Amino acid sequence: MSRRYLFTSESVTEGHPDKICDQISDTILDALLAEDPSSRVAAEVVVNTGLVLITGEITSKAKVDFVKVARQKIAEIGYTDAENGFSANSCSVLVALDEQSSDIAQGVDAAHERREEASDAELDAVGAGDQGLMFGFACDETPEFMPLPISLAHRLSRRLSAVRKTGELSYLRPDGKTQVTVIYEDGKPIGIDTILISTQHTPTIDHLSDEKSVREKIKADLWTAVVQPVFSDIDVKPDDRTRFLVNPTGKFVIGGPQGDSGLTGRKIIIDTYGGYSRHGGGAFSGKDPTKVDRSAAYACRHIAKNIVAAGLAEKCEVQVSYAIGVAQPTSIFIETFGTGKVDEDKLLEVVKENFELRPAGIIQTFNLRNLPGDRNGRFFQETAAYGHMGRPDLDLPWEHLDKVDVLKKAFSPAVSASA
């Protein structure tokens, strides 16, 4: 008997208050790592009307003007008009930073000081910076091996920001949210049930001030300029039964930090798989690569994506867990949800043999210590909006399919038989 159900994921634009905080946190991280790759960073940001607070723990030899970095990122996002309630030039920026606890650093510092290739014994000597559990996921629903709902929600958010920045829809303001409900049948996406876009806008549009007229104008423009381009190369498209909702409360003039406070790390589901996969609970932004909340989640995504790309499963979720100060994971678990083509016990052994999950090994594998310098000081900040996974617009090392051949070779008879 076939099963039909709906699944929904959401995204937010770079001008959303929480995403402002994530981007400032990761811009600070990039700036510190560019000068001192050994920087230890846990940068937290809070925004509210006219206020930015930078807090957390940072240990670094780098000399960074945190106030300048914050203002530049806010302006880049699009908050340049004080009448919008929040502006790069007029907001107050407060800095309240401490150094990392020596208790946390204990057992982690020594081998991380090395920049050259570390030996196997040295990688074993570098413990995780904290306990915790992380998940990675991949499926074959999209070319980037992401679930379709979150992929579509991110595409809509990115397009919404793009038409604002290019001036195609000049009345848009930076804050916005998108949401997509996909119809599934027997685990496969077959249609689009609902598309929801909420976007901040100017009080009047083309001399229209009536609330109904403004909303109708925005709805028509968004369908043409945002929705249709996003779905132009998608097989599963909206039809005459698809609901298209825009600013359901009527208007969205007051937004950004003036409308709601923001906080780093408050959009962890948007950052990953849109709720389609489990989440360990740890946020990413503002954390340097020694923090396994971030680096190990990337490593798990790398494993899951390569497994699916190799044809070993249609869906794959990888969980890993750590103890503070211990290099080797305390557990590794692989789930293929009944879609696996090979023995999962053997799959786990092959993963252990071919993928690096020790904290220092992950950093070395993905070159996470030196990436900011390779990209003119911009790397982690690029992931801080529109998702950390499944980003075809970014060359992210954990998205590389560099282990597909290794996995296929390990299971060549089984893979060939299932093809």
Give the domains, in start order, of the chain with CATH numbers: 4-11+148-255 (3.30.300.10), 132-141+266-418 (3.30.300.10)
- Residue 281: per-residue pLDDT: 96
Displacement of CA 165 from its chain's centroid (Å): 21
pLDDT in tens, 29-52: 999 999 999 999 999 999 999 999
- Residue 84: per-residue pLDDT: 77
- Residue 81: per-residue pLDDT: 87
Residues of the chain below pLDDT 70:
1, 100-125, 371-376, 413-419
In the 8-state DSSP scheme, what is residue 204?
A: -
pTM of the model: 0.93
Residue ranges of the alpha helices (H) in 282-411?
292-309, 344-354, 359-366, 371-374, 380-383, 404-410
Which residue shows structure tokens 């846990």?
A: 42
- Residue 369: per-residue pLDDT: 82
- Residue 219: per-residue pLDDT: 95
Report the C-alpha gap between 123 and 103 in whole angstroms. Answer: 20
Report the C-alpha gap between 399 and 390 in whole angstroms. Answer: 7
